[in-house]
Amino acid sequence: MENGTLHDLLGSDQGSSTLSPVTVSWKMRMDVLLGVSRAIEHLHYHAHPPIIHRDIKSANILFDESWVPRVADFGLPVSWDVTKEKEGMEFVAAGTLGYLDPEYYAIFLLKPASDVYNLGVMMLEVLTGKEAVFYGEKGTTHLPYFAVPLIEAGNLGELLDGQPSPEPTPCELQASF
């Protein structure tokens, strides 16, 4: 699409970000997360039959000419059998490492919650400016393992991406967590 992917705009590829509304605005980042959340809600609750995407990630969020985020790459979706809600459906794990729901990856039981986990990792990317798997002080790090201790300790300043300016308002910060 005209304005590329969320992954590219966040500058995940060795700092190659360009100035865009997504890069410089906390409000735009929150709007993107809200738009993607609504798209997943639509897939899970309003599509007939419900759909589990299985590969929600920043590289699969494209922006049109008006900077509206669009969920893309429907190569792995599964029609959800709502009668299997409690126990899940057995499928070989598929998706992108770094985003995969650990429960789904370990025991091959797919649930809509797997997309929600993917979304959570993507949200952390948007908030931190880091990739889902990145090389940090302690070697290769999975973003949730980096972020959760900082969130639990209340060290949001260490967590948030320093690119957008001005800093998020208290309302935007509250919406993030």
Residues in the chain: 177
Six-digit token pair at 24?
């410089």
What is the CB-side half-sphere exposure of residue 21 using CA atoms within 13 A? 15
What is the CB-side half-sphere exposure of residue 12 using CA atoms within 13 A? 23
DSSP label of 45: I
Asked if 40 and 71 count as a contact pair (C-beta separation under 8 A), the reply is yes
Six-digit token pair at 96?
């992108």
Asked if 92 and 150 count as a contact pair (C-beta separation under 8 A), the reply is no
Name the catalytic one among 8, 13, 55, 101: 55
Whether residue 55 lies in the annotated active site? yes
Asked if 49 and 88 count as a contact pair (C-beta separation under 8 A), the reply is no
Active site members? 55
